[in-house]
Structure 1
Amino acid sequence: MLKHREILHPSLLLTAVGVLGMLAACAQQPSQLAERLPAPQGEAVNARPYAVQPEVRRQPAQALAAAAATAINPYVGGTAMLGTRTIADNCAAAPNLRVLTRMVAASNAGRALSEAGPITVFAPTDAAFARLPNGAADQLLASANRPALSKVMSYHVVQGAITLNQVRARIDAGGGIARLPTVAGAPLTATKEGAAIALTDANGSKSYVETPDIQQVNGVVHVVNGVLVPQLG
């Protein structure tokens, strides 16, 4: 078991990542998540902001910001997610995304979440980070492991603003599987499990979308119940 004060080299982190296989068993069951997903609200929100109009092709950033400003976003951690904010600002405002906010600020991914997009972020909750091996989150924040941290955070970011309905459409078009290329360079695998959307990382661990379609001026956020980890070798 990792100690909080030990410095974990990225090559050793690969061993710790193997423990993430337990997340699939620890994660909530798809049937439970299906009951919690705000599907009717999400579908209503999805219908408005990302329709492909000529204006979007000419000025994607401006059109995205204008649509987000009028979007009806779900609350995250009991806090309103304002469409006039950036992804970084809204994540910082959510009380259940504090660990993610710390990690983003310490990594190269922080700039992407603050600048003009569009991007899509799969945002793990504090509870998701708590299920990592003991001390792993602190080790990622150690200065010696910043390259590994940046890769892990970038693995949660996909270029383009992708709504949950669009993920479902990609899954259908792919015969039941959609590969979402991340900024880290490796894809996430998206599948349907009932009404839930599952994301499988490079290590075979699954996470599920809990709160979809949080629209911001530079993209969209989907809150997930697990940490997505790329191969770190």
Structure 2
Amino acid sequence: MKCYVPQLVLLTLFLTFFASAQDRYPNSESNLLAMDFQESINWNTENSGNHDTLSAAMKAAGLDNVLSYDGPFTVFAPSDQALDTLFSDTATDLFEPENKGALQALLRYHIIAGEFTASRILRALCRGGGKATFMTVQGESLTATIKGIDIVLTDSFGNTAMITTADVNQCNGIIHEIDSVILPRNATFLP
């Protein structure tokens, strides 16, 4: 007789996570769920209505073409509010051409190569005893943990971001919306 307790716990956690996210973030989710899964990450980010700053940053960093065709990628997409807060708090204008490298590093830290659905992240968390590490395309690791029913990402400075909307499928990957910006170790633009 096989024991299915770990699978049932994972399934319960997974279903609770999505039910809770639907209740707390209805406007954000409706914008993201309206995305066309047959289009690219870049196209849907431009047209989501909640990621105008991210879309402009991707263009300024030259990453819009990569996220239009290549993949699969998993993007942890900060909302406009989260990015606007970061950009207003920095002493450097990251949209200036001389700061393109810093902007690229910031955005690449929000991208993982491959498709990492919430269930795949939860499986990694279960295997890792509640902690999982993922390598970003920027070359630094990002740590995921569970806090209550939420998946929380922790950057190299100890800053955290919670996944507020998960598993928005695209033709070249997945978008998970997060509530704040995570920072790579080499964030030279901080005050």
**Structure 1-normalised TM-score?**
0.66
Contact 2:108 2:136 in 1 (8 A): yes
Bigger fraction of residues in strand: 2
CA offsets, 1:31-72, max 9 Å, x none? Answer: xx9874149xxxxxxxxxxxxxxxxxxxxxxxxxxxxxxxxx
**Residue of structure 2 equivalent to 1:160:** 114
CA offsets, 1:133-168, max 9 Å, x none? Answer: 635397111111100000101101101011001101
Flag the structure with more relative contact order, 1 or 2, with Cα contacts below 8 A and sequence separation at least 6.
Answer: 1
Query: What root-mean-square deviation, in Å, do the aligned CA atoms of Structure 1 and Structure 2 show?
Result: 2.2
- 1:139 counterpart letter in structure 2: D
**Residue of structure 2 equivalent to 1:75:** 30
Contact 1:119 1:160 in 2 (8 A): yes
Structure 2: give runs of 5+ residues left out of the alignment: 1-16, 24-28
- Whole-Å Cα distance in 1 between the matches of residues 89 and 156 of structure 2? 21
Structure 1: give runs of 5+ residues left out of the alignment: 1-32, 40-73
Q: CA offset at residue 182 of structure 1?
A: 0.4
Contact 1:202 1:231 in 2 (8 A): yes
- 1:210 counterpart letter in structure 2: T
CA shift in 2, pair 1:137/1:129, >3 Å? farther
CA offsets, 1:176-211, max 9 Å, x none? Answer: 111111000001100001110000011110000011
- Whole-Å Cα distance in 2 between the matches of residues 185 and 80 of structure 1? 32
- Whole-Å Cα distance in 1 between the matches of residues 46 and 18 of structure 2? 27
